Structure 1
């Protein structure tokens, strides 16, 4: 198989993961309708974490971690697993899967913004414009379906925004930890620590919640394992391995497919209405991500460099 074919196969793998992640928002929307949210997320992350640990053991990647690595893993677990998944499940109980998909699309942009503030990444006019466009896109989500009046963000939208922000913060710590730690090991340790934290929250917030989860019908359990195994455990592994081969710079483009597939699956499977304001917001968010993450800027620099060489 030649190199070009291998690249296309990797592209197909990544697109497949984007489809899974888009569908996962719909899956979670169904799950929170039948299971207590915190308890459901606890078990879902435990299952995903167990699968990743098994993969780590099979690949001989389990090792002792340093104190510095543990600090970064713990911080990433608090924000990326406990905060992200807890707020996500709670938010989905009172907002649409469409809005959830669009708000979560801001993760790359928010991560880029935090990297500028915390890690000292350069702030350019293009990136700043991207940040502005992205948040204009979120502002458009507050416009009612008719487009004639502002309805305001619902409490569910606010919780999803907190979920998105928590995940963006976690990526800062993940970036620090993965300089010495394999991404799969990082994910495995995060899920183990995070699921323990979610368990404590669920026991406090939802006494008897774990028992209630097991009363869900069979089709809900099929969705549960599809979400835990395919989208969360295997999806992350496929994504990480493919991105290493096609380049991290492409991630901004592919991440934009998640809200796209989220919108389609929400409309088709949940019969949710996609309003013009939401579609306009989607366009602004996609443009914001491409500019704000530095993707467009880097492509332009590469183009100019090649032009000067010729």
Structure 2
């Protein structure tokens, strides 16, 4: 339950981070600032782990998990997400990103030989419906499918696959340390891509006002560094599928963040979607099953006594 509450807090930060990233890309070249943000996050992760003596050099196949995770979770996910958002609507993107938990559950069942109960599958479906309801509550509705939709799907597909690698790596490598290595090497690759796509990107960094840099460091340290450390740690503890269902909450929290920071409107239908999402999280994460089993065990103990 402690991990569940921590994940809810992380989703709140990730939801607000959507608005923060929008502020950043409005002032900076997107790929360049993404590479710099992720690199800064990697330094924050290593500094935190160094203070607690949790830094070590990876061994053997752990390097494969690191580079595989960096390629999928950092490079592919962020690159296709940035590209897709320039070609498709936010509504389409939100709906496609809502497939993340279902894709993760599918890969966990296929690749990790995981088993999901009927209640958890219902939870994943409810969460998907809640995300769809929340996104479609906007004024624009769903737009025609574009090539950007394919990019968004590739972004969430690569992220879902990375969760499987993180779960496998957690057997020998601390997921928090894995996060630091993934962010570091992934940011280097993204920086090389930015030099190709945005050759003048670094020259534009001095043009932003001071408050934007405050936004940058909050996004890099709180959302990217600590957020991914916590989330990847949770994957290692409760599983990729179980942790991924909480991602549905970030859709609602992103709407709240947009309303507060960007002065965008929230509709009553958004709260209906939120209730569906919460129901999906309670079922999909297995928290209701855990509470029911705990109550059943307590009753049995009382009967024996």
Out of 155, 158, 162, the residue aligned to residue 166 of structure 1 is 158
Tell me by how many angstroms 1:93 deviates.
Answer: 5.0
Tell me the equivalent position of 1:134: 127
Whole-angstrom distance in 2 between the partners of 1:304 and 1:134: 27
Tell me the equivalent position of 1:86: 79
Q: Deviations over 1:239-271 (max 9, x none)?
A: 778x69xx8599678756533432211112212
State whether residues 75 and 190 of structure 2, in contact with CA within 8 Å, keep that contact through their aligned partners in structure 1: yes
Tell me by how many angstroms 1:49 deviates.
Answer: 0.7
Residues 1:45 and 2:42 aligned together: no
Residues 1:267 and 2:259 aligned together: yes
The 5 Å alignment of 1:21-60 reads 21-60=14-53
User: Which 10-residue stretch deviates more, 88-97 or 171-180?
Assistant: 88-97
TM-score (norm 1): 0.78
State whether residues 20 and 231 of structure 1, in contact with CA within 8 Å, keep that contact through their aligned partners in structure 2: yes
Whole-angstrom distance in 2 between the partners of 1:177 and 1:309: 37
Q: Deviations over 1:177-222 (max 9, x none)?
A: 1211122211111111111121122122222223223433322222
Q: Identify unmatched segments of 5+ residues in structure 1.
A: 1-6
Residues 1:61 and 2:61 aligned together: no
The 5 Å alignment of 1:1-310 reads 17-93=10-86, 107-140=100-133, 143=136, 145=138, 151=143, 159-237=151-229, 248=238, 257-275=249-267, 278-310=270-302
Tell me by how many angstroms 1:104 deviates.
Answer: 5.3
Q: Identify unmatched segments of 5+ residues in structure 2.
A: none
- Given the superposition, is the C-alpha separation of residues 95 and 293 from structure 1 closer, same or farther in structure 2, using an over 3 Å criterion? farther
Tell me by how many angstroms 1:91 deviates.
Answer: 4.5
TM-score (norm 2): 0.79
Whole-angstrom distance in 2 between the partners of 1:161 and 1:290: 26
Whole-angstrom distance in 2 between the partners of 1:160 and 1:289: 23
Whole-angstrom distance in 1 between the partners of 2:265 and 2:150: 20
Aligned length: 299
- Given the superposition, is the C-alpha separation of residues 271 and 17 from structure 1 closer, same or farther in structure 2, using an over 3 Å criterion? same
